[in-house]
Amino acid sequence: MKEQILQTLSALRAYALSKGITAAFFYHEEDSHLMRFANSAISLNTNEHLIRLEITVFDGKRVASYEMITDLGKLDEMKQGLDIAAEMVKHAMPLNYQPTLPAYAESFADESGFDPALGGLSGEERLAYFNEASRGLETEEIKLSGIFSSGTNVLAQISTQSGHTQYFKTSDAQINMVLSHLHLKWEVTAEQSAQKAADLAPASLRRDLAFLLERYQTEPAKQIPVGKYDIVLGATAIGDLLSIMNWIGISGGMMKRGYSFLSEEKVGQKVFSDKFTLVDDPTRLETFPFKRDLMGLPRQPFPIFDKGVFQAFTWAQDDADEFGAQPTGHSVEHKSLVLGGGEMDVSTLEELVRLPREKDILYIPFLHYMNIVNPSKGLVTASSRFGALLLRQDGSLVVPFNVRVTQSLLDIFGDKVAWMSKAQTVVNTSSSYGARNPTAIVVPTFIRVNDLEISHSNTSY
C-alpha cells in the first residue's frame, strides 16, 4: 500500500510538471473505528475508510487549495482535481508575502508510531475492553456510556519542487467511559490513550471509575462557598489547559496577530513557576509525533519553557513567511507537548485522598465547556461539572456541586503552583471532527495550585 501511495503521488507530480503547474500534494488516509455506548448498551458500532487529497497550487503570491475524497485507483479524478486548483489560483487574491513551497531534500518515511495490533483492533476486542473496565459497576440506577475510538492514520506528501516524498503512519486509540446516575443525574468519567495495544489497560481505568463511583454514592453532595481554594488539577484538566496555551500562548503567528498572552519581550524571562518545564518532544511516541514537519524540517525536542523561563515561540512555515520569522519545524498537524513531572510522590486519586492536608483542597479532574475570556491576558473559563471532590482538612470528603473557574493561565501555572506529581499521564486531546488527527499531551498526573478563585457555585447537580 505504501508504494502504491507514493507512486500515485509521483504520477500526480509528473502530471503537474507536464502542465507547468507548481503544486504540493497532501495525502491523508484513515481507517477509523468507533464503538459508542449509551444506557449500558452499544448504541453505535461503525467504521470508515477515507482517503483525502489536498492539492495546493502556487502562482507567485497566489495560492489556491482543492480537497477531495477519492480512492487510490482514481488517478484521473485526482488529475482533474489538480486542474480545478490550477483554475482556482488564477482568481485568488495575492498574499502580501511570498509563501514557501515544500521542497524535500530527501525522502523520509516514519512508521515507528504504528502498531498493527492496535491499528487492526476488532470490535470484539473493543467490547471486551469495555466489559472489563465496567465489570461489576453497573446497576439498575448506574448506567454506562462512552466511546472507544481507534484506527490507523497515513499521511504522505510530494511537491513539484523535488521528486522526494514524506510518509507517516501511526496507530491510536482514545477511550472515554462514563458512569451516570439515572435519577440524580451525576456522572463520573475516566479516560485512556493508547499508541500501541500494550497501552490498553482496562483494569487501570476501572480502578479510577470505581473509586469515584463509590465516593459519589457514599459522600454527601453540597454546594460549596465561592472564594479561593487550593486546587488539585487532574491530568485531563491540565492537558486541556495546555491545549489552550498552545493556541493563545506559544504560537508566533498568533502572537503577531495579537492573540497571545506572551510577547517577544517575554523570551528569556520567567513567566511561570520554576516547576514548569514544557517541551515539544517528537521523540515521545505516545504523542503520535511528527519527526519531520510537513515542510521537511527535521524535528528535535524543542524547549518552550525551562523552569518557568520562556524559551521561544513556535513558528509554522506560513506564519514565518508572513511575519519574516525563522520556521522552527512546527508546520505539523499537532505538536508533541510534554510537561515535566515534579517531586510529589502521588500517582492515583486514592493516594491523593490519603495525603495529609493542612486545609481543604478542591480536586478537579476535568474542565468542561472551556472557553477563552481574554487571550491577551491568558484568561480562560471552565466548569468542573462532575468528578470533582472536596478533600476536607479533617479527612472527610464532600462531592461538590458544579463550580466555575475563571482564571489566567499566568496564575494557574505561575508561582501559585505548590507541587507537581512525579507520575505522568498521557492525555488524549484528539477531536472527533474532521480528518483523523491523533493528538496527545504528556502531563503530570496531578498539579496543586494554591489560592485560585471559584467564581460560581451551583446549588444542585
Q: What is the pLDDT of residues 294-341, one digit of tens each?
A: 999 999 999 999 999 999 999 999 999 999 999 999 999 999 999 999
Give the per-residue pLDDT at 433. 83
| Residue 290 CB-density burial (10 A; 0-12 exposed, 13-18 middle, 19+ buried) | buried
pTM over 0.75: yes
Helices (H) and strands (E) in the chain, counts: 10, 23
Q: How far apart are CA 127 and CA 140, in angstroms?
A: 20
Quick one: which H or E segment has residue 453? strand 446-457
Bridge-partner residues for 152, per DSSP? 31, 171
Residue 351 C-alpha cell reads as 493516594
DSSP secondary-structure letter at 423?
Answer: -
Predicted confidence (pLDDT) per residue in 95-146, tens digit: 999 999 999 999 999 999 999 999 999 999 999 999 999 999 999 999 999 9
DSSP secondary-structure letter at 292?
Answer: B
Give the per-residue pLDDT at 413. 98
Neighbours of 228 (CB within 10 A): 10
The SS3 assignment for 121 reads coil
CATH of span 2-209: 3.30.2290.10
Given a contact cutoff of 8 angstroms between Cβ atoms, the answer to whether 438 and 285 are in contact is no
Burial annotation 250-263 (CB, 10 A radius, 16+ → b, else e):
bbbbbbbeeebbbe
Give the per-residue pLDDT at 176. 97
Identity of the residue numbered 190? A
Query: DSSP for 337-365?
Result: EEEPP-SB---SHHHHHHS--SS-EEEE-
Given a contact cutoff of 8 angstroms between Cβ atoms, the answer to whether 399 and 220 are in contact is yes
* Beta-sheet pairing, 221-222 with 397-400: parallel
Length of the chain: 461
Give the per-residue pLDDT at 62. 98
Predicted confidence (pLDDT) per residue in 258-276, tens digit: 999 999 999 999 999 999 9
Instruction: For the chain, list residues with pLDDT below 70.
Output: none
Name the residue ranges covered by the structural domains of the chain.
Answer: 2-209, 221-457
Residue 275 neighbours by CB under 8 Å, 6+ apart:
307, 308, 342, 417, 419, 420
* 398 φ/ψ angles, rounded to the nearest 5 degrees: -130, 140
Residue 125 neighbours by CB under 8 Å, 6+ apart:
none
Give the per-residue pLDDT at 461. 82
Bridge-partner residues for 29, per DSSP? 51, 154
Q: Sign (positive/negative) of CA torsion 324, 328, 330, 335?
A: negative
Burial annotation 446-457 (CB, 10 A radius, 16+ → b, else e):
bbbbeebebeeb
Gyration radius (Cα) of the chain, Å? 24
Q: How far apart are CA 415 and CA 450, in angstroms?
A: 9
HSE-CB at 317 with a 13 A cutoff on CA atoms is 16
Residue showing cell 461503525: 46
